[in-house]
Chains A and B, each alone.
Chain A
Amino acid sequence: MTATETRTPPARAHGPGGRAGRRAGWARGVRLALLAAFLVIFLIPVYVLLVTSFKPLTEADPSRAWALPEVWTAQPWRVAWDKLAPGIWNSVLLAVPGALISAVLGSMNGYVLSKWRFPGADVLFTLFLFGMFIPYQGVMIPLVQLLVKLNEITQSVTGASGVFYGAIPGLLLAHVVYGIPICTLIFRNYYVTIPDELIEASRVDGAGMLRTYWSVVLPVSGPAFAVVIIWQFTSMWNDFLFAVFLTGPQSWPTTVMLNNIAGAQTVPYSQQMAAALLASIPTMIVYVLLGRFFMRGLMAGALKG
């Protein structure tokens, strides 16, 4: 390699005043400038949403589209709240219990698949993972048919109509079941880090599977629970496909209601954008307060534990 003789030593070997040091400083400046430019580009939609959502009707004019409102008003927000509130409540009824049930199921599966393994556990786990990637369109029509059947069964047994299809429990069921793969993956990857010796010691002491789970594994599961709950809450809150196929007007969650509001041609921009912001507040709070856990959920989705 002839380049060896002429190569420049690493930049860090020079003092800050050296030529290489100056070049490194210049490179850092360029990097910072590029990152800042992308920051601005990424925030453009947020600027538009915020600015427009505070504009009165009279200012919803193309020529002033990018300007700040001359008169600030919360009116669009009030209208958006009135229209969206039932959907928000439906979303809460869906996403809060849904996330909790998902976490419990994922925790039990993850425990067994990492610490109480049975023959074929790896293959089973891979079969689970495929469920994470399936396009939900592929199960949509049968799912509707199954929920309709469940409606008929519950009606003939309890007399209550429309319990599953067209209602929150059906949507909840779908989200929990199709959330099993990712929840299992997150917990399994987390529990792998618990030393096997700990489980072994508990076994030697005569504790069974559930006992070990309850007194050894569960007490250290906090972070994994946080990741799964945030992850499932966000995906249930943001989901549109299941909601639009499985719910009726009484049980529409936020996304479906928002889409209906935004789809109407006569609704002013300012109200649509206020509604879009309103619909995003819960997930944004989760992201801002618990971004670290949100991030871990994302990384788990990439199969990298």
Chain B
Amino acid sequence: MTRVRRWLPGLLLVTPSIIAIAVFVYGMLGWNFRLAMTDRHDEISEGSFVGLENFVTLWDQKRWGISVNHAVVFTVVFVFGALALGWLLAFLMEKGIKGEGTFRAVYLFPMAISFVATGVVWRWLMNSGQDERAVGLNRLFDSLGLDFLQWEWFRNPDWGMAAMAIPAIWQMSGYVMALFLAGFRGVPEDLREAARVDGCTEWQVYRHIVLPLLRPVTLSALIILGHISLKVFDLIVAVSGKQIITDVPAVFMWVAVFDSHDPAKGATIAAYIVLAVSVFVIPYLVWTLRKERRP
């Protein structure tokens, strides 16, 4: 009884949040999945249960295939690009360098700005006009004599989504840098010194001491970048609008809800996005929980 009295007030204090999360996160995810399993393809009808039909028929639509394809290209380029650049910046700064504060501040500042605001300038920078009609980066390449670098950026049907990842890398690599820098600095200096005394070269110290200790940071960065990538929406809308050439599931969902007025279809697309994110976030959370319980 006394033990219950000890923790009950705490439970009561978080109850409002528990209810909010239960309703707004889990309740609504369930609600969305249920809607995705109905044939409510307009805003008037009630819709009846049709099972996984929407999940299957979505794949018959050409646009869905395109948007999934785009999401994959974008995710691969963005995640590895931001990871590589962020890691490189942290590696260059790791041992301390003059003006480190300035470098860090500049690399990190894009994170403070919205995709919608930076979309204005990136749309201009990645304008597809070339040669005398060139603006933006193509113009810069033109005047530097690097004409061969000109291309149609996100308007390229095959690799356009790789170009779309550039602003995203610009925005997020500073964050990855900060994570890795904290990771690098978290490696105790005595550990490195001990390895050196044992006869390791700098490269071996790095390979056998530092890199393994960076693994959890890399995993965190990977999860964060990956989940941002799969739900990317405002960047695409801000840079290219709702064009099919840069369609991703999140934009397709908006079109399904607002332009085609098809709630069941919108819910199905949303459900696929949730599933894609859950596939790697849930194992990660379970792993974190286990690690925390270990003494």
Q: In the complex, how many angstroms separate the beta carbon of A152 from the nearest chain B beta carbon?
A: 16
Q: Are A180 and B21 in contact (CB under 8 A)?
A: yes
- Whether A139 touches B9, Cβ cut-off 8 Å, given contacts A180-B20, A298-B178, is no
* Count class of interface residues, chain A: 35 or more
How many residue-residue contacts, CB under 8 A, span A and B?
Answer: 273
B266 lies within 8 A of A141 (CB): yes
How close is B167's CB to chain A, nearest CB, in angstroms?
A: 8
Cβ-neighbour of A302 out of B24, B122, B220, B238 (below 8 A): B220
Interface segment among B27-35, B54-62, B148-156: the answer is B27-35
- CB within 8 Å for A65 and B139 given contacts A127-B21, A137-B273, A295-B108: yes
Expressed in whole angstroms, the Cα–Cα distance for A232 and B267 within the complex equals 27
Can you list, as one digit per residue, whether each of A271-286 has a CB less than 8 Å from chain B (1) or not (0)?
0110111011001101
Among A1, A127, A184, max chain B CB count under 10 A is at A127
Expressed in whole angstroms, the minimum distance between the Cβ of B38 and any Cβ of chain A is 12
Contact B113 A113 (CB under 8 A): no
Residue B37 CB within 8 A of the other chain: no
Q: Which of B76-84, B207-215, B274-282 contacts A (4 or more CB under 8 A)?
A: B274-282
Q: Which residues of B contact A304 (CB under 8 A)?
A: 179, 182, 216-217, 220
- Smallest beta-carbon distance A201→chain B, Å: 16
CB-defined contacts of B29 to chain A, threshold 8 Å? 134, 138-139
> Which B residues touch A128, using CB under 8 A?
17, 21
B233 touching A45, Cβ below 8 Å: no
Interface SS, B side? helix
Is A62 a contact of B115 with CB atoms below 8 Å?
no
Q: How far is the CB of B98 from chain A (nearest CB, A)?
A: 7
Q: How many residues of B contact A (CB 8 A)?
A: 104
The CA of A62 and the CA of B134, in the complex, are separated in Å by: 7
Give A273 to B136 CA distance when docked, in angstroms.
13
Is B164 an interface residue, CB under 8 A from the partner?
no
- Flag whether B245 is at the interface (Cβ < 8 A): no
Q: Are B113 and A284 in contact (CB under 8 A)?
A: yes
Chain A residue at minimum C-beta to C-beta distance from B257: A141
Q: Nearest Cβ in chain A — how far from B78, in angstroms? A: 15
| Bound-complex Cα distance A276 to B125 (A) | 14
Binding site for A on B (CB under 8 A): 7-11, 13-14, 16-18, 20-21, 24-29, 31-32, 35, 85, 89, 92-93, 97-98, 102-103, 105-125, 129, 133-136, 139-140, 143, 170, 174-175, 178-179, 182, 196, 199, 201-202, 216-217, 220-221, 223-224, 227, 230-231, 233-234, 237-238, 241, 249-250, 253-254, 257, 263, 266-267, 269-271, 273-274, 277, 281-282, 285-286, 288-289, 292-293
**A interface vs B, CB < 8 Å?**
1, 3-4, 7-8, 10, 28, 31-32, 34-35, 38-39, 42-45, 48-49, 52, 62-63, 65-66, 105, 108-109, 111-113, 116-119, 122-124, 126-131, 133-143, 145-146, 174, 177-178, 180-181, 184, 208-210, 234, 237-241, 244, 255, 258-259, 262-263, 269, 272-273, 275-277, 279-280, 283-284, 286-287, 291, 294-295, 298-299, 301-304
Other than the given A105-B17, A108-B17, A135-B250, 15 more pairs (CB < 8 A) read A35-B97, A38-B107, A48-B125, A117-B10, A124-B14, A137-B269, A137-B270, A137-B273, A140-B32, A255-B114, A255-B234, A259-B116, A273-B124, A284-B113, A304-B217
